[in-house]
Amino acid sequence: MSTRPTIPAVLRIDVEPDEHQPKARSEWPGFAGMVAHVEAMRSRLSDLSGCGVHPSWFVRFDPDIERCFGRADFVVQQHRDLFDSLRQRGDALGIHVHAHRWDASQAVTFSDYADQNWTMHSLISRKCRLSAGALTVSGTLRTKCPRNVRAR
């Protein structure tokens, strides 16, 4: 029996487009690659640590994703099977936002933290509906999402 103390570890993975400024819809192959990488390591890490390995996956969910991909939950719809698999393994799903704002005159995206209204818009404006089979979040982030997370 080991006398070494347990060292807690958090493995947080942000799920984002492969490009900083995506110009066309892609299938976010980096995410699929990361899922495959985690699956390849999961049992070995579990064997070495003696603990279950359950990363937390934070999906990018903001106006710039909606602008680029047509919907904020694009990656969840695109990779529903992967999200279902992650949930079946007991991984946690969450969201994160960027305050990225499109400047049409310069054709660039920039982080706009100077405009508090934009930051709030990025956080609360859209309906969030992460429907990954096992998880549905509905309502707006401000009023309902934290309370309405439920397993199907």
Residue of 13, 14, 71, 94 interacting with Zn ion (CB under 5 A): 14
Length of the chain: 152
Please name the residue that has the structure tokens 């859209």. 126
Applying CB under 5 A, does 22 fall inside the site for Zn ion? no
Applying CB under 5 A, does 13 fall inside the site for Zn ion? no
Query: In the bound complex, what is the minimum distance in angstroms from residue 2's beta carbon to Zn ion?
Result: 37
> How many residues line the site for Zn ion (CB under 5 A)?
1
Q: Which residue's Cβ has the minimum distance to Zn ion?
A: 14
Tokens of 57: 């996956």
Query: In the bound complex, what is the minimum distance in angstroms from residue 125's beta carbon to Zn ion?
Result: 18
Applying CB under 5 A, does 58 fall inside the site for Zn ion? no
Query: In the bound complex, what is the minimum distance in angstroms from residue 47's beta carbon to Zn ion?
Result: 31
Range in contact with Zn ion (rule: CB under 5 A) among 7-15, 61-69, 70-78, 127-135: 7-15
Query: In the bound complex, what is the minimum distance in angstroms from residue 20's beta carbon to Zn ion?
Result: 10
Applying CB under 5 A, does 84 fall inside the site for Zn ion? no
Please count the CA atoms within 13 angstroms of the CA of 82 that sit on its side-chain side.
21
Query: In the bound complex, what is the minimum distance in angstroms from residue 23's beta carbon to Zn ion?
Result: 18
CA–CA separation, 117 vs 106, rounded Å? 21
CA–CA separation, 101 vs 82, rounded Å? 29
Which positions touch Zn ion (CB under 5 A)?
14
